[in-house]
């Protein structure tokens, strides 16, 4: 079936919109009026007044964060066995399925003869990850999950976005594992 083409008419600007200045002042007026209204109502709330009037609610990010849905795909973690070792058996399914090629696993022997393999190294480059969740879906051992509720992945360098096995087994709660300030590790 041929695609239907819809022609969208651009709205015509009137004289006042074409000279911009009235629109700029209108925008400034809206911003300033909301700002002063919120200052006034928040101050009144502090004094125990106007409790029934709502003011804008601001989340003090990143100290304060909104709760997110448990279904949200957040930073990865590797699940552990009872002895603390990774559940991963280095089957390479996640590495193979990953469309961004950002998982790198080096397989090794596991000390328990009942477990065929274990990762000697498991590295995930968050700078390349597209958060598709395919790795979680492909894993036959429930060894990798994206349920840490950590969505802060800001870093000062690409290297800091590369997570090693230790970090994946015990994700840093605040966000990225190493914080740097202007390139200097703290």
Nearer to ligand SF4, 44 or 92 (CB): 92
> Is 102 a binder of ligand SF4 (CB under 6 A)?
yes
Q: Look up residue 82 and give its two tokens.
A: 């009872």
User: Are the C-beta atoms of 108 and 120 separated by less than 8 Å?
Assistant: yes
CA distance 70 to 169: 19
Among residues 39, 130, 164, 166, the one that binds ligand SF4 under rule CB under 6 A: 130
Among 62, 108, 133, 174, binds ligand SF4 (CB under 6 A): 133
Query: For 108, phi and psi rounded to 5 degrees?
Result: -145, 175
Would you count residue 104 as binding ligand SF4 (CB under 6 A)?
no
Judged on CB neighbours under 10 Å (0-12, 13-18, 19+), 47 is: exposed
Give the number of residues in contact with ligand SF4, rule: CB under 6 A. 27
Q: What is the dihedral of CA 159, 123, 148, 79, to 10 degrees?
A: -160
Applying the rule CB under 6 A, the residues between 82 and 101 that interact with ligand SF4 are: 88-94, 97-100
Contact range with ligand SF4 by CB under 6 A, out of 3-11, 48-56, 133-141, 148-156 = 133-141
In the range 16-75, which residues lie near ligand SF4 by CB under 6 A?
A: none
| Minimum distance from residue 165 beta carbon to ligand SF4 (Å) | 11
């Amino acid at each position: 079936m041929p695609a239907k083409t819809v022609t969208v008419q651009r709205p015509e600007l009137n004289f006042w919109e074409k000279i911009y200045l009235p629109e700029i002042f209108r925008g400034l007026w809206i911003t300033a009026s909301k700002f002063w209204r919120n200052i006034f109502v928040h101050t009144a709330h502090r004094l125990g007044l106007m409790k029934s009037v709502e003011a804008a609610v601001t989340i003090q990010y990143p100290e304060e964060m909104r709760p997110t849905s448990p279904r949200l795909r957040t930073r990865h973690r590797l699940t552990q066995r009872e002895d603390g070792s990774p559940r991963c058996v280095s089957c390479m399914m996640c590495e193979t399925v990953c469309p961004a090629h950002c998982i790198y696993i080096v397989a090794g022997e596991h000390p328990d003869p009942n477990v065929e393999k274990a990762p000697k190294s498991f590295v995930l480059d968050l700078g390349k990850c597209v958060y598709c969740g395919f790795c979680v879906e492909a894993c036959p051992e429930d060894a990798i999950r994206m349920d840490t509720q950590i969505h802060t992945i800001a870093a000062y360098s690409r290297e800091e976005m590369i997570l090693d096995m230790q970090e994946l087994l015990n994700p840093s709660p605040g966000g990225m594992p190493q914080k740097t300030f202007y390139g200097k590790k703290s």
